[in-house]
Amino acid sequence: MRVSTQGSFLNGLTAMQRLQAALDRTQQQISTGRRLLTPSDDPIAASRSVELRESIGRLSQFDRNAGIATNRLAQEESALTSVNDVLQRVRELALQANNASQSNESRGQIEVELRELLDNLVQLANQKDGGGRFMFSGNLEETVPVTRSAGGYEYNGDQGRRLIQIGENRQVADGDPGSDVFFRIRSGNGVFSLAAADTNLGSGVLTTGSVVDPTAWVADQYTVTFTAPGTYEVRDSGAALVATGAWQPGDNIVFNGIEFGIQGEPAAGDEFVVAPSVYQDVFSTVEQLAEAVGTSVSDDAAQTRMINGINAGLLNIDQAIGNIVDVRTQVGSRLAVIEKQIDTNGAFSLTLQETLAGIEDLDYAEALSRLSLEATTLEAAQQSFVRTQQLSLFNLL
């Protein structure tokens, strides 16, 4: 076979360039620590690497979302703690006022503090988060949640909860609408409420009622009328007679699966109303309680009306406190879920990173051995090229 001088030269030069390129690639791998420099190095591994990086990126975004949700829920928890403290103080003042030793003047001072606490409650309901958005407006974050009008207190937000993605299949609400926190609170004992008529002349004071047979309870408004100091009758909203009975101090009035007591001595003609519990906002509850505390007492009948008003307010305050506790429990549960999800994301991310490292990271021992071999081969090729390029037919003559 005949090989021209030019062909030999080009073959040698091509071989050295190929060896030089391989050596350069190995040097780049060592300097970057990566086995894959371009997708063409290993198309399948490169494709898998892209998928793994996308998954790791999603997990990082989930963790950032979890941080945002945690911060907002922590602020809500702080606000709810303050609300609970205010309501506990309201309850203390109501118990303090519900004492025969208090005068009209001292109860008036308690009323002033109750109204200040009411203003504080409204401020807490209208509190903003760290981003300047109202916390309890639902999705209407730029709308003031609670305002007062001639008809009472109004909620201006919506029922929405913003869901934040914190995992592949996990979302968590980062807040609660003010309607659930401050407005959807059952009156009375949660099933029914009790009230004494303003026209009562006796000293009958209502005690807390309870449901003894839920299956027998029929939700309706009932009027308990004392036809005489020791006898009573119960009629429903249609004036139909439901029950009658004799009564003496210490007895409970029982009908349709419920019962309640009356302390003192009701007079003939005194009436007590039993009605199904309705939703009432906490602001109206505190305001009604303040009005009851501020009632001017001049006789025994007025004293009884005041006590009944305060007792009813205390029941409603207890319902409001219970609702705040329920919401705080939900917030705490979400915070616990977020914490667990962050741990899960971290463990999954670590696994993905290890898998990615196995695909992309360089085996330094193998690369250094390969570098030494490629350098030796290139050097030998260069020396061979130097010697062969000097050969000529005239050198043999």
Q: What are the residue boundaries of the structural domains of the chain, listed by start?
A: 5-33+364-396, 58-187+315-346, 192-277
Q: What whole-number distance in Å separates Cα of residue 232 and Cα of residue 245?
A: 6
Residue 389 to residues 2, 381, 384, Cα–Cα distance (Å): 16, 12, 9
> Which pLDDT score, from 0 to 100, does residue 148 have?
92
Is 20:386 a contact under the CB 8 Å cutoff?
Answer: no
Higher-confidence position of 45 and 246: 246
Element (H, E) at 266: none
Determine the length of the chain: 397
Query: In whole numbers, what is the pLDDT of the chain averaged over residues?
Result: 86
Higher-confidence position of 17 and 238: 238
Least confident of 16-30, 71-85, 88-102, 185-199: 16-30
Which tokens is 69 given?
């949700």
> Which pLDDT score, from 0 to 100, does residue 149 have?
86
> Which pLDDT score, from 0 to 100, does residue 298 have?
87
**Residue 343, helix vs strand vs coil:** helix
Residue 382 clears pLDDT 80, i.e. is over it: no
Residue 73 clears pLDDT 90, i.e. is over it: yes
Higher-confidence position of 112 and 53: 112
Averaged pLDDT, 29-57: 66
Instruction: Using pLDDT thresholds of 50, 70 and 90, give the confidence band for residue 250.
Output: confident
The pTM of this model reads: 0.80
> Which pLDDT score, from 0 to 100, does residue 378 have?
60
Residue 293 clears pLDDT 90, i.e. is over it: yes
Averaged pLDDT, 7-22: 64
* Complete DSSP assignment for 170-219: EEEE----HIIIII-EE-TTSSEEEEE-TT--S--EE---EES-TTT---
Averaged pLDDT, 25-35: 61
pLDDT in tens, 178-204: 999 999 999 999 999 999 999 999 999
> Which pLDDT score, from 0 to 100, does residue 130 have?
83
> Which pLDDT score, from 0 to 100, does residue 374 have?
60
Residue 157 clears pLDDT 70, i.e. is over it: yes
CA torsion 325→331→336→342, rounded to 10°? -170
Instruction: Using pLDDT thresholds of 50, 70 and 90, give the confidence band for residue 11.
Output: low
> Which pLDDT score, from 0 to 100, does residue 194 have?
95
> Which pLDDT score, from 0 to 100, does residue 383 have?
66
Q: What kind of architecture, by CATH, is found in domain 58-187+315-346?
A: Up-down Bundle (1.20)
Close Cβ partners of 382 (under 8 Å, ≥ 6 residues apart): 16
Instruction: Using pLDDT thresholds of 50, 70 and 90, give the confidence band for residue 389.
Output: low
DSSP state of 263: E
Higher-confidence position of 52 and 260: 260
Averaged pLDDT, 326-352: 92
Averaged pLDDT, 137-141: 92
Give the phi and the psi of residue 261 in degrees, each rounded to 5. -110, 165
- Percentage of the chain beyond pLDDT 70 is 78
Q: Measuring CA to CA, which residue among 308, 2, 317 is closest to residue 185? A: 317
Q: What whole-number distance in Å separates Cα of residue 264 and Cα of residue 255?
A: 20
Averaged pLDDT, 29-39: 59
> Which pLDDT score, from 0 to 100, does residue 143 have?
94
